[in-house]
Chain A
Amino acid sequence: MERGAHLFGQQLINGLVTGSTYALIALGYTMVYGVLQLINFAHGEIYMVGAFTGLLLVTQANLPFPLALLLAMAITALLGVTIEFIAYRPLRRSSRLSVLISAIGMSIFVQNVALWVWGPQTRRFLPPFPVHTFTVAGLRTNTLELLTLFVALVMMLGLHLLVTRTKLGKAMRAVAQDRETAALMGINVNRTIAFTFAIGSSLAAAAGVMVGMLFNAVVPNMGVMPGLKGFVAAVLGGIGSIPGAMVGGLVLGMAEVLGVALLSSQWRDAIAFAILILVLLYRPSGLLGRRTQEKV
């Protein structure tokens, strides 16, 4: 019994850490969706490029970690804005289908260019700071895991404040509600959307750097599965809702880990997608999302 409780506790920690990696990715997804109602399929690839940029800045340019992280976020923000400019902006008036296909095309393109440039081999990403392992009440964790969780929380709070307390946030919400009216009110819609992509992409970069270090692995296809699961987390929490992304990420992480602990590790990835389909069917607005009527 004692050992069972201990095992369960350790798995909850695993779930929390796994969940915070999904939450990090889900935050950027949910923000872009909230403003544009667009699934940015390339988000997982932006996350991958962020991880590579961070890795190269740390190992090749020998920058101190905080600087490397900020710079990786800035460079990746630029990539996000470029992607928006090339693949989405020309399609503002097109059908949803066209935009989705363009998004998928962009995702495939970025991933395969990365494969071309950086090769298929996994690279290691050793944290440029010492990692301490410690035990609390018999449960193990380490500074890297705690840092990942901490970064996810800070970003969620920062993003929440940005959206609710700043002028830019106000503009974003206005654009999200009604693009035409927002434009009539003197909001520069294109600039607001570009900012949204910049922020979403820099969040993805931070996620990429943190997860790359956490698992000590950076590789061109690293964005595919986490990208999908980040989206599942965003939908689960209520897409468009910032606290929802966090909650969705953590719930998904827990569900997966408990699936492995109680059922079988063979079905882990199927669990995430089964949750996705169930949520879409029974509560499409997600755990924290508001029910919205489709506009005509």
Chain B
Amino acid sequence: MKGLGYPRVRFGSRLAFGVGLAAVLAALLIMGSGLALAQQTVVIGMLGPLSGDYATYGVSVANGVELAINEANASGKYSYRFVLRKEDTRGDQVQALNAINKLIELDRVTAIVGAVLSGETLTAGPIAQDAGVPFITPSATAPAVSEIGDYEFRNVITDDMQAAQMAEYAVKNLGLRRFAILYANNDYGLALRRAFEAGVRAHGGQVVAVESYLDGDSNFSAQLTNIAAQNPEALYIGGYYTEAAKIAQQAALQGLKVRLMGADGFDSPELINLGGAAVEGALFTSGFYNGTQDPLAAEFVRKYEAAYGSKPDMFAANAYDSARIIIEAIQAVGPNRAAVRDWIANVKDFPGVTGLTTFAENGDAVKPLYILRVENGQFVQER
């Protein structure tokens, strides 16, 4: 029974037994009289890739949740003591299923922040739904996630929304007309590609080239040559920062002069670190801006940096807010899974570091979306 978090008691002698019994009775008496000496412990779960190729995202989420829980425990404002259980999925379906079963059945969590990737959320989510455990994913953006059920909440802006808003901004505000799309052939990239293409068309722009790549590719020359032949004004990259940085550099070497655009997959200091001058001027959508003036968010950035030595990204910020929503829910209604779900579903304008958060009927968060720009090696707010 190792590692289950239950204290093991050995009744070595009658004396110990007697003392223990007396202590338990005393504790019951005190609790009964309303003078709780020890707070009741409530377990909150976190599920995501803490190792493997996607570990960067999972670790950010774990940090965000941990920070929120440590803060709550230190504040003394809550009637419960919150305990965090982190489970690693390695970004893998099989591991995700075992991990969520463990959180629910062995750790007896009240609610979960996770999963992080869309694929693992679509595997683990239905398990939590069936078990009646509320969960908030801080980052799974695939459209199908919101169909899991009423115990699912999504505290991140979907791919569809991000791509649609970028398309609208590019056509209407920037006056761009000819677009090329280069997307990662995975659920994230494909969802962005579809929504961006539709958005551009809806606002009267033109998509002149669509190409794809596989995650981890390094050589984009053939795709970029195809794209360059169509003379686009802007290139929308549906993918993550590592590939985006490489694409930006190879595009520059090929003499392709376009405005680079993307979604929250760009949101990492590594974009600038890897891409250097080639990503200057790139625009992307994100639910969080870590250079914000908003006092609540600025305070979070400061605390996160002090605890983990780096600025928080969108994953950490969404996870932090999600954990805080769960903590408030438990404080309000007690550690009852169904009651916590109802509280989350009815939350109105929760003041998070990613803005005021309300969950729509389908569990998707409705909240503001930033458009950020790379300027002199920094992210600045474009809108």
Contacts and interface: CB of A to CB of B under 8 A. Distances in A.
Say whether A associates with B: yes
Contact of A257 (B216, B222, B229, B253): B222
A222 B229 CA distance: 29
Contacts of A95: none
Given A120-B53, A120-B55, A17 B221 contact: yes
A216 interface: yes
B349 interface: no
Given A121-B56, A133-B253, A221-B53, A215 B246 contact: yes
Scoring B214, B246, B253, B254 by chain A CB atoms within 10 A of each residue's CB, the highest score goes to B253
A190 interface: no
Interface in B260-311: 270, 273-274, 276
Nearest to B274: A124
Interface string B227-262: 001000000000000100110011001110000000
B331 interface: no
B185 interface: yes
> Chain B contact residues (Cβ within 8 angstroms of A): what range?
20 to 34
A140 interface: yes
A260 interface: yes
B225 A261 contact: yes
Interface string A213-229: 00111010110010000
Interface in A118-140: 120-122, 124, 126, 131, 133, 140
A216 B226 CA distance: 21
Contact of B229 (A3, A225, A260): A3
A133 to B, nearest CB: 6
Nearest to A266: B212
A265 interface: yes
A102 interface: no
B223 interface: yes
A82 interface: no
A6 B273 CA distance: 34
Interface in B36-69: 52-53, 55-56
Contacts of B52: 120
B56 A120 contact: yes
Contacts of A216: 246, 249, 274
Contacts of A221: 53, 216
> Chain A contact residues (Cβ within 8 angstroms of B): what range?
35 or more
Contacts of B213: 265
The B contact surface, by secondary structure, is helix
A220 to B, nearest CB: 10
Contacts of B250: 215
Interface in B185-217: 185, 211-214, 216
Contacts of B273: 124
A15 B242 CA distance: 23
A18 interface: yes
Nearest to B182: A265
A7 interface: yes
A18 B221 contact: yes
B336 interface: no
A261 B212 contact: no
B218 interface: yes
Contacts of B276: 124, 126
A122 B245 CA distance: 10
A256 B274 CA distance: 26
Contacts of B226: 7, 11, 260-261, 265
B37 to A, nearest CB: 45
Contacts of B229: 3, 6-7
B92 to A, nearest CB: 15
A269 interface: yes
Nearest to B52: A120
B254 A225 contact: no
Contact of A14 (B185, B214, B222, B242): B222
A142 interface: yes
B225 A10 contact: yes
Nearest to B223: A265
B219 interface: yes
A253 to B, nearest CB: 9
A122 B55 contact: no
Nearest to B55: A120
B255 A256 contact: no
Given A121-B270, A217-B246, A14 B225 contact: yes
Contacts of A266: 185, 212
A217 B53 contact: no
Given A120-B53, A121-B270, A217-B274, A140 B221 contact: no
A82 B178 CA distance: 55
Contacts of B274: 122, 124, 216-217
A265 B255 contact: no
Contact of A265 (B55, B211, B254): B211
Contacts of A121: 56, 270
A145 B132 CA distance: 58
Interface string A10-52: 1100110110010000000000000000000000000000000
Interface string A173-209: 0000000000000000000000000000000000000
Given A3-B229, A14-B225, A221-B53, 4 more contacts: A17-B221, A222-B218, A260-B222, A261-B225
Interface of B: 52-53, 55-56, 185, 211-214, 216, 218-219, 221-223, 225-226, 229, 242, 245-246, 249-250, 253-255, 270, 273-274, 276
26 contacts: A6-B229, A7-B225, A11-B222, A14-B221, A18-B219, A18-B221, A120-B52, A122-B246, A122-B270, A124-B276, A140-B255, A215-B218, A215-B246, A215-B250, A216-B246, A216-B274, A217-B246, A222-B218, A225-B216, A257-B222, A261-B222, A265-B213, A265-B222, A265-B226, A268-B222, A269-B214
